[in-house]
Every structure is written in structure tokens, then in C-alpha cells.
Amino acid sequence: MRVLGIETSCDETGAAVYDTEAGLLAHALHSQVALHAPFGGVVPELASRDHVRHLVPLVREVLDASGTKMHDLDAIAYTEGPGLGGALLVGASLANALAFAIGKPAIGIHHLEGHLLSPLLEERRPAFPFVALLVSGGHSQLFEVRGVGEYRLLGDTLDDAAGEAFDKTAKLLGLDYPGGPALARLAERGRKGVLTFPRPMLDSGDLAMSFSGLKTAVLTEIRRRGAAGLGEQDKADIGLAFQDAVVDVLATKAMRAMRETGLRQLVVAGGVAANRALRARLQNETARDGSEVFFPDPKFCTDNGAMIALAGALRLEGGRASAGAGAFEVRPRWPLVEMTRPSGRVT
């Protein structure tokens, strides 16, 4: 089965073609970083308008690159939610219009399901069941994954997500947007052991997480030193101490989830999954206890059309996509735990 995937949930416009036999045939991505950088964050109206400008050319690009004609497609998958309402409508509108034109189904995909399944795009891929650590700007969650559409929430953050804490801390340090990757680069120049920040809920005995207090600890340290006393090396030391604390919490909770479920495979996905310190820590932890960890390629850690095309193809192939009523909708707020099998809206 061959599926066109469309992603427009926030500030990246993505399109891809995935074939269940041949794998990923083509993908293209347009980033809006330069557009939003002057504002220090995503401006929803600007994001929606930029999706309108770039989505159709990207769709044409991946169809041409994959040698696919519209009528060769078995379905068109799009991000139904969660995300920015206006941005989601751009992708949903085009997907449903194209699907109607060729008489094929349009499959609404949960954005987080796309991330969670993204390691299946790789040659070395996990097999169900596995534990998934989903870490991004809006989510820090642990799931037990038994199959497509079979997700049990094990642990969640009580406040800021890890990626959100990265971005806010980067802003406190005066780093450019997008802050998370900039902070990770800064941390590479930090000195080990110079600073230590608290590890929130590390010993709570459960799988819940919290990162807002860590951000506050950084702010307290900056204020203690005073603006005049904060040089580039000081910023790097703070960045490293912050990153170490986040990685420690995420890794500890993920490995605890593995022990509690008895599963031996760990998937890490979402924007923060590209963080090299987190990858190294979890590779060491899993190697030590004989389990395995799987990551998507860094280019598929951020929002992308490939993961949406993959999720749509897996749902269509496995009969896990339910028939809709003919109209489509978007869901700016849509917890993954609300996904029930067969789910996956089809119009």
C-alpha cells in the first residue's frame, strides 16, 4: 500500500510517500524557524499562512521524487491533531480535497502516534511490544506500546515537558530561537561538576516527571550570579548542569518503566530524542542490562511527513482505520490515551 503523508501541526511543513513493501520513497520538509525567530517563538497565524504557501509544492515534490501519480496512492494521511488549529486545518483541508478527487480514503493521524512509530522507518527497528519515551516541546510521557493503536500511559509530566524546559532555560540564558538545540550545543562546552541542579521526582517511586522546578533552579542561579557575572563559560556550565539533570530524570524513569513492564525494548521519539547526551545515556543504560534502545534518525525526530505517512500506511494495512462520517475535523487538543483500536479517522 502506498500512502501520501502530510504534516502541518505546528511550524514545519512536511510531506512524504511511504510504501508498505518498499519503505519510505520520498520525503520533504520546510522549516519555519527563520520566520518565527524574530518573535522568539511560534506565531500561529504566520505558521498557518506559511503552510498554505509551501504545502502544495512539497506534495508535488515528493510525488515526483517517488515516481508516484495521484491515482497510484491507496490513501492520504494527515495530522488531525494535536497542534495549532489553523495549521492543522491547512493539512487536513488539502488531504481531504485530494482524497476526494481521486476517490481514496483520507486518514487522520494522531501527531504523537506518528512520533511514537517513527523508529519503524529505520532499518534497525523495534518489534511490538515496547516501552516508548516520548519527549518533545509539549510532551514527556512513557507508554507501553503493544501494537498500532494499543497504547497504555505509564507516566507523564506534571508540568513543563522536557523540551519546553529546554526552550525556557535557553531563553533565560539569552540564546537564540529555537532554544532547545542551541542549549544542547552550549552544554557541550560546559565543565562537568562545576554545577549540580536538582533532579525533580527522581526518587518518587513512580513514573511521573516534573521539570518546572528545574527551570526555576536555573533562574535562581542566574539571579545569584547577577547579569554582569554571567560569562559565556558560566552559561555553558549552567547549560550542561541543566541538561545533565533532565537526562538523568528521563533515563531513570525510562529504565524504571522497562523494569516494571518487563519489556526489553525502549523506543525514544520526539524532538528531544535527537539530544546526543540523552542518546548516549540510554545506549549505555540498555547495554548494561542487556536490553535495547531505538531512536529515529535525527531528521525524523522533529515534525515530518514521513512519520504521518508511515502511521497511515500501518493503520490502513492492518485494518486499524475506522470509517468516518464523510466530514473531517481537527483536534488541537487530543491526548494519545484517547486513541482506541481500531481508531484512526478515515473520511
CATH number of 333's domain: 3.30.420.40
- 184 and 285 both lie in a single domain: yes
> Do 67 and 154 share a structural domain?
no
Are 65 and 212 in the same domain? no
Residues 68 and 147 in one domain: no
Give residue 321's pLDDT band: very low, low, confident or very high (50, 70, 90). Answer: low
Residues forming a β-bridge with 249: none
Asked if 191 and 264 sit in the same domain, the reply is: yes
The C-alpha atoms of residue 250 and residue 202 are separated, in whole angstroms, by 9
Same domain, 309 and 275: no
Same domain, yes or no, for 97 and 131? no
Q: Which pLDDT belongs to residue 326?
A: 56
**Same domain, yes or no: 133 and 212:** yes
Examine the pLDDT at 341 and tell me if it is beyond 60: no
Per residue in 158-214, pLDDT (tens digit) is 999 999 999 999 999 999 989 999 999 999 999 999 999 999 999 999 999 999 999
Query: Phi, psi (5° rounding) for residue 299?
Result: -70, -15
The number of domains in the chain is 2
Percent of the chain clearing pLDDT 70 (strictly above) = 95
| 65 and 16 within one domain | yes
Same domain, 286 and 147: yes
The whole domain housing 274 covers 126-295
Average pLDDT, the chain: 93
- Judge if 31 and 105 occupy the same domain: yes
Q: Which long-range contacts (CB under 8 A, 24 or more apart) does 59-65 make?
A: 59/4, 59/6, 59/15, 59/94, 59/98, 61/15, 61/26, 61/28, 62/4, 62/15, 62/16, 62/17, 62/25, 62/26, 62/27, 62/28, 62/305, 63/4, 63/17, 63/26, 65/17, 65/25, 65/26, 65/28
Give the per-residue SS3 of 264-314: CEEEEECHHHHCHHHHHHHHHHHHHHCCEEECCCHHHCCCCHHHHHHHHHH
Whether residues 246 and 336 fall in one domain: no
